[in-house]
Amino acid sequence: MLKKILVPKVYLPLIYLIIAFVIYFIINKIISKALNVRKKSKVSSLHQKRETTIVNLIRSIAKYIIAIFTILAILGVYGIETTSIIASLGIAGAIIGLAFQDTIKNLLSGIAIIFDNHYMQGDVVTINGFRGEVIELGLQTTKVRAYSGEVLIINNSLITSVINHSMYNNLLYIEFPVSKEVSLETLENILHKVNKKLQNIKEVKKDMELLGIEKIDGNKYYYKVLVECASESEFNVKRKFMEYLKEGYEELNISVPGEYLEIKNRKE
């Protein structure tokens, strides 16, 4: 009975399976530890998310490689010629490659998107003219949801142009009219108070810059400020700026010119 148990064909496959699990466990631990160290460091959340996407891909590839070598090792224990199997797999792979060219193109494009940091899940992008949030990034397809609810499902190999609106902060230029009756000193005191309130908004990344008078027109002048904010938050920041500016005017009983605030923004 003991001899049957000690037969290589019985215990070797079990040993190979255990070794495979141990190797995958060690690789997974090393990757997880490295990722946790990066999260604790001063790396931006943007890069952390991208690294997480790449790490998940590496884990998946490692799992399949370990599984293939383990299966080949177990087949060798039972006397099956693995070299002929590998050769057959090569021929079969060539045939499959021809039959699934589009699938392979999608896979390669998906890997390129992930490693080249074109975009990631949660980014706001414009892909082939369609704008929305990336809700799923796979090796085969990318899913983008527009703000109106439509979802674009596109093969990665068909993506010809990408604009990533979330990669950098927005530089939001706000130009607004001020009555000539309001002195520059009074206005800038109001703007300093506005700036303090804006710093409580998490999307605002830096102190507001007072750029000064842009132009003079009749009984008013135009003043310009610069606010650096997170991508896609400029409209909310604009509304808050207008609200705080109005409050500052009302505290000093200053009349507000009726012109619409002119908003200009560009990427950092």
pLDDT tens profile 157-185: 888 888 888 777 888 999 988 988 899 99
Q: Structure pTM?
A: 0.50
Q: Is the pLDDT of residue 260 over 50?
A: no
**CATH 3.30.70.380-classified regions of the chain:** 170-267
Structure tokens that stand for 34 in this block: 């490295």
CB 128 within 8 A of CB 144: no
Structure tokens that stand for 132 in this block: 């929305």
Q: What mean pLDDT is reported for the chain?
A: 79
Interior/surface letters 80-93, b for 16+ CB within 10 angstroms, e for the rest: eeeeeeeeeeeeee
**pLDDT (tens digit per residue) in 37-67:** 555 554 455 556 566 666 766 777 788 788 8
Structure tokens that stand for 53 in this block: 């996407």
Answer CATH for 8-99 from 3.30.10.20, 1.10.287.1260, 1.10.3680.10, 1.10.3720.10: 1.10.287.1260
Average pLDDT over residues 181-190: 92
**CATH 1.10.287.1260-classified regions of the chain:** 8-99
Among 186, 194, 183, 163, residue whose Cα is nearest residue 261: 194
Among 268, 190, 168, residue whose Cα is nearest residue 226: 268
Q: Is the pLDDT of residue 254 over 60?
A: yes
Half-sphere exposure of 213 (CA within 13 A, CB side): 13
181 DSSP assignment: T
* Amino acid (1-letter code) at residue 86: I
CA distance 209 to 1: 84
Range 170-267: architecture per CATH: 2-Layer Sandwich (3.30)
CB 208 within 8 A of CB 195: yes
Structure tokens that stand for 143 in this block: 């899913």
Q: Could you count the other beta carbons within 10 Å of the beta carbon of residue 196?
A: 12
CA distance 229 to 268: 10
CB 177 within 8 A of CB 257: yes
Q: If residue 20 lies in a helix (H) or strand (E), which one and from where to where? A: helix 8-40
Q: Could you count the other beta carbons within 10 Å of the beta carbon of residue 265?
A: 16
Q: Which residue has the higher pLDDT, 13 or 50?
A: 13
Interior/surface letters 23-45, b for 16+ CB within 10 angstroms, e for the rest: ebeeeeeebeeebeeeeeeeeee
Q: Please, what is the angle between helix 82-99 and helix 101-115, to 10°?
A: 90
Q: Which residue has the higher pLDDT, 78 or 207?
A: 207
**CATH 2.30.30.60-classified regions of the chain:** 118-164
Range 118-164: architecture per CATH: Roll (2.30)
Average pLDDT over residues 135-149: 85
Q: Could you count the other beta carbons within 10 Å of the beta carbon of residue 195?
A: 19
* Model pLDDT, residue 79: 74
* Model pLDDT, residue 141: 86
